[in-house]
Amino acid sequence: MNALVNLTSLLKSAKEIFPFHGGVHPPENKAQSTQLPIGQLSLPEKLVLPLRQHVGNIPKVKVSIGEHVLKGQLIAEAEGAVSAAIHAPTSGTIFSIADATIPHPSGLPDRCITLIPDGKDTWIDKKPQNWRTGDRKNLVASLRLSGIVGLGGATFPTHIKLRADGKSGVHTLIINAAECEPYITCDDRLMRERADEIVQGIAIAQFMLGAERVIIGIEDNKPEAAKAMEAAVNKVAIANTKMEVVVVPTLYPSGDARRLVHLVLGTEIPHDKRSTEVGLQVFNVATVLALYRYFEFGEPSISRIVSMTGNVQQPQNFEVLFGTPLPHLVTAAGGAKADTSHYIMGGPMMGFALPDENVPITKAANCIIAASPNLFAPPPPAMPCIRCARCADACPVNLQPQELYWFAKADNFEKANDYKLFDCIECGACSYVCPSNIPLVQYYRYAKSEIIAADKAKEAADLARERNDFRLARIEREKLERAQKHAERAEAGKAAAAKLAAEKAANGAIKDALETNIHAAPGDAKDNEADVQKAAKQAAIAAAIERAKAAKAAAVASGDAPKNVVNADASVKKEIAEIDARRDAVGLSEKLAVDPVAVEDKQAKIAAAIAKAKAAKAAADAVKLIENASENKE
């Protein structure tokens, strides 16, 4: 024990602590569940897996009733930007997909997948990933399929808190191992037994964020866990990274992320900013262990460590498959004692009473407390506020709880919002110290819910107004478009009418010009018609003459022509005689064989063809002249 005390003193002196305002120190009640190592549960008869186990959208179901699934198989896929997947905790058959009671303060049922184990516990083909050499973007993308969420209670999807480009701006990674609330010891036992794996998971988170510094914050009531983590840190050397264990005082709510940041760094995160905006990121020890199991062994998130404590025979921490019915866990802890009245999920400060003892264990269930009147007496009746200001002294966020109480009670939500109501972390420290036993946190939750509902109603009204404005704008636009189309059609009609009028005017001008050209005395229609008829008659006569010439030429070719036509031309005969004389002079006795009739035949045929062509042309000219005269007349 002295060695542990010395270690705590050494770790305290190694790092300056920056206390935050307020806080309380209720009875811890942690020793009961830390006496035994983490236990393993047997497979239950059924597993009921609520789709709503995390912050954000519910996942999309990927299985059907009657389907056989393997351990680690994806059964519900992340839907939307903020969501997390759900996997089969063991092999078996999908029994139903229906509403069932879930662990929620409302007590309302929600959609759940019921799996009946086959007892074989057969894994899928697991695919580990080498995160040391892998691409950050691909590694983070694969995390979306892992189902890992914040296991400290917030259940925010882990893949969103990591950055894929190594340029997140985060310079310091803080590991939350404070576990400040009474009764909860799951992180304590986890660090004692699996410190090496946790540090490996820290290295993975540090690599993805590109952080240069890692601080592991542990409360001083966990000396064994601090010693184990210090030893594990000394085994791991991360290049260009400083990793250290910092022991902080035991004071509730030091496990709140902003309070822990203030304790170890003295940094106050503005109320309207996230930790990443000031270069910090916070992860729970169980979350980084899940990262290690996923990348090193290819195991998705299917179980977690749960503290089963309170009014049970043997309080202990167990590794519990998601979907395990609560009675199965209670039985593993030796069963509940006879005077157990109800069960609380979470710690006594921020937890809530479960609506039913048959609800399943989910990703948010870090602790189950069996409650009894001896452990949790019924709250005494609330008395009037005496303005003692103890609540203000205990508030770790520096609010004015008594003022918020009056505003919430009077439904003056606008004023409560002005007093930073939403900065309240609902830790319950104010209610714990109130001498009048006023359930202050209940009033704050009521006021928050009313403000959120009003904001949602206003948002819906604004959206409806925007849609209506868009509809009116669309109607007006369509009206203008129709008017424009009508105007365009009217303009097109006017243009067509103008074109028709212009064509008629042009035709009239052409007619007038024709009349002017044809008649010596313009305007005399009878003379115009006589001229047309005369031109047509002359064309017909010319065509007849040409046809007669063609007929004569054809007659000559056939031998029916007069003799004077048949006789060859004298010049041709003379030329033939001269050729014969020259042939005799050179000793050629053969005469030139010339058939005068054949020559005349050839000439006659040529003449006939020429005459026929002239006749056809004359006829075509006559027809064209008649047609033009007819068109001009119309």
CATH of the domain at 250: 3.40.50.11540
Q: How many domains does the chain have?
A: 3
Claim to verify: residue 530 and residue 437 sit in the same structural domain? no
Boundary of a domain, candidates 409, 431, 453: 453
Please indicate, yes or no, whether residues 443 and 586 belong to a single structural domain of this protein.
no
Residue 37, phi-psi category: left (phi > 0), alpha (psi -120 to 50), beta (remainder): beta
- Whole-angstrom distance, CA of residue 265 vs CA of residue 360: 38
In a domain, 285, yes or no: yes
**What is the SS3 assignment for 58?**
coil
Note whether residue 89 is domain-resident.
Answer: no
Report how far residue 483's alpha carbon sits from residue 490's, in angstroms, rounded to the nearest whole number: 11
Look up residue 79 and give its amino acid: E
Mean pLDDT to the nearest integer, 221-228: 96
Q: Is the same domain home to 529 and 449?
A: no
User: Is 294 found in the same domain as 150?
Assistant: yes
Q: pLDDT class for 491, splitting at 50, 70, 90? A: confident
Question: Is residue 629 in some structural domain?
Answer: yes
CB 58 within 8 A of CB 51: yes
Give the residue numbers spanning the domain of 535. Answer: 525-633
Assess whether 182 and 285 both reside in one domain: yes
425 and 546 assigned to the same domain = no
**Same structural domain for residues 408 and 557?**
no
Kindly state whether residues 139 and 273 are assigned to the same domain.
Answer: yes
pLDDT of residue 10: 39
Q: For residue 74, is it within any domain?
A: no
Can you tell me the mean pLDDT for 175-186?
96
Are the C-beta atoms of 39 and 308 separated by less than 8 Å?
Answer: no
Residue 328, C-beta contacts closer than 8 angstroms, at least 6 positions apart: 41, 44
Q: What is the mean pLDDT of residues 267-296?
A: 93
DSSP string, 361-404: P-TT-SEEEEE-TTTSPPPPPP-------HHHHH-TT---HHHH
Same domain, 534 and 443: no
Instruction: Note the pLDDT of residue 391.
Output: 96
Using the 3D structure, point to which of 263, 279, 298 is the last residue of a domain: 298
Q: How large a percentage of the chain has pLDDT more than 90?
A: 65
pLDDT above 80 (res 536): no
Let me know if residue 75 belongs to a domain: no
Asked whether the predicted pLDDT for residue 593 surpasses 80, the reply is no
Average pLDDT over residues 25-50: 95
Domain boundary among 434, 453, 472: 453
pLDDT tens per residue, range 359-394: 999 999 999 999 999 999 988 999 999 999 999 999
Question: Does residue 273 form part of some domain?
Answer: yes
Share in percent of the chain as helix, strand, coil (round to 5): 45, 15, 40
Residue that wins the pLDDT comparison between 594 and 587: 587
- What pLDDT does 334 receive? 96
In this predicted model, what pLDDT tens digit does every residue of 135-158 receive, in sequence order?
888 888 899 999 999 999 889 999
Looking at the structure, tell me whether residues 400 and 284 fall in a common domain: no
Shared-domain flag, residues 281 and 140? yes
Task: Examine residue 489 and state whether it is found in any structural domain, yes or no.
Answer: no
For residue 35, tell me if it sits in a domain.
no
Looking at residues 446-451, what average pLDDT do you find? 95
Query: Between 506 and 173, whose confidence is greater?
Result: 173
DSSP string of 514-551, one letter each residue: HHHHH-SSTT-HHHHHHHHHHHHHHHHHHHHHHHHHHH
Residue identified by tokens 């068109």 is 631
Give the pLDDT of residue 8: 43
Regarding whether 398 and 279 lie in a shared domain, the answer is no
Q: In what order do the strands lie in the sheet with 367-371?
A: 39-40, 316-321, 303-310, 367-371, 342-345, 352-353
